[in-house]
Chains A and B, each alone.
Chain A
């Protein structure tokens, strides 16, 4: 008999669930077939996609460096009955995810074609532009619950700015996405024009795990197994939080809001404690910082919940939520990927009514102005 499955749902949990609609900050739509992008790509790039295809900044032609845990990293039950890859059929997404889980809004996060990791930056930029249009035509226009993000790979900073301007004029995107694995750490000045524009436009900067910047995914080199690489998502996010804070991005752009997506949140306390201690010792090296690193983290950063760390004892998760702060957490499911979190069962510790409202709905509503 399982201790989890037989846990009775408390009356108040049931009531809270029925009242609360979910804002899911990480929903992955997929391109049904590359031809769907034709209408948004110039002839030149249509031909390039067909002739040369995708080439990443890794030595693995036509594949990822690690075998994923399941085909297309998807839930086995998420393959649409109509064919096509998981996440490519809106009707099925509605039926399997949006409707039954009472999703009020889903923030789209597109990963197809390794949008941020193309070796050919011009091709990457063309795809980003096409996918930005595709998100509206194929998803947001057809279901107003689904909100698009402006994909703007930062390594071609000039293109990124132009694309942000173009999409901002359309006015229907809720976020600007850059990549956590790029040529240089995200705090570098070369990327600041993007942050300046995001601040002016009042759009949060979204950073979803993944991508291949050409560097090994861990600080120790290339690991042997996917399970090791998957673990490195957290290290990457910790490295980027450190870079953004210590290189002074929140100090320089005080109104910029930054969202870390799919990095989980278990690593945040130790990363911020360590930065604070080191800041006390080395503050003369970074005199541009006016406050303790943890203060910047508390005020400028948000973190989506999935994958939620699941310690053996629920009380440790409770402490973690308190350390990070229920104000900083945004619920995300990662639908339709294999490590999807169901909002009803994802938290292996009880949440108060206030925490539940903030995490599942309120924080995202305020952040994305929904």
Chain B
């Protein structure tokens, strides 16, 4: 599994996202409540760019008139047809077994640790005090 250092954690504000070209694919990284999630930047339905998706809560209703929000900001709603996906694993809400967005493991490592390893990226100035987002593909 290849590891790609793509950005500093501070490059993506909370609630925001950024797209990275990795091995010819566009991968979008979301920052939600201090966590980072990486997904292929294409809806599996008709290919809409997920970077434009709404980051929404999971909305459930045990009975008419009662609404509950949970996992705020962790569900993606496709910018075109509104299909919802779980940011943690790319599963669709309505057909989790069949329809998924490919997701990638994300690691956050300190600059200090990276500097010691083999992944000192030439294109990224490494400040030892920073943390870096690493996508595994």
A: which residues have CB within 8 A of B? 1-5, 69-70, 75-77, 338-342, 344-346
Contacts and interface: CB of A to CB of B under 8 A. Distances in A.
A339 B81 contact: yes
Contacts of B80: 75-77, 338-340
A77 B48 contact: yes
Interface stretch (B37-45, B117-125, B127-135): B37-45
B79 A77 contact: yes
Interface in B82-112: 82, 98-102
B77 to A, nearest CB: 8
**Chain A interface helix/strand/loop/mixed:** loop
Nearest to A337: B80
Interface stretch (B3-11, B15-23, B27-35, B49-57): B49-57
A76 B52 contact: yes
Nearest to A70: B82
Given A77-B52, A340-B80, 18 more contacts: A1-B100, A2-B99, A3-B98, A4-B45, A4-B99, A5-B42, A5-B44, A5-B101, A69-B82, A75-B79, A75-B80, A76-B79, A77-B49, A338-B80, A342-B46, A344-B46, A345-B47, A346-B46
Of the listed residues B42, B49, B80, the one surrounded by the most CB atoms of chain A closer than 10 A to its CB is B80
Contacts of B98: 2-3
Nearest to A341: B46
A231 to B, nearest CB: 15
Contacts of B40: 5
Interface of B: 40, 42, 44-49, 52-54, 79-82, 98-102
Nearest to A78: B79
A345 B46 contact: yes
Nearest to B81: A339
A2 B82 contact: no
A363 to B, nearest CB: 22
Contact of A3 (B52, B53, B81, B99): B99
A77 B42 CA distance: 13
Contacts of B102: 1-2, 5
A76 B46 contact: no
A70 B80 CA distance: 9
Nearest to B42: A5
Given A76-B54, A77-B79, A342 B47 contact: yes
Contacts of B79: 75-77
7 contacts: A4-B44, A4-B99, A5-B102, A75-B52, A339-B80, A345-B46, A346-B46
A342 B44 CA distance: 12
A182 B99 CA distance: 40
A338 B101 contact: no
Nearest to A7: B44
Of the listed residues A2, A69, A70, A76, the one surrounded by the most CB atoms of chain B closer than 10 A to its CB is A2
A3 B92 CA distance: 12
Contacts of A4: 44-45, 99
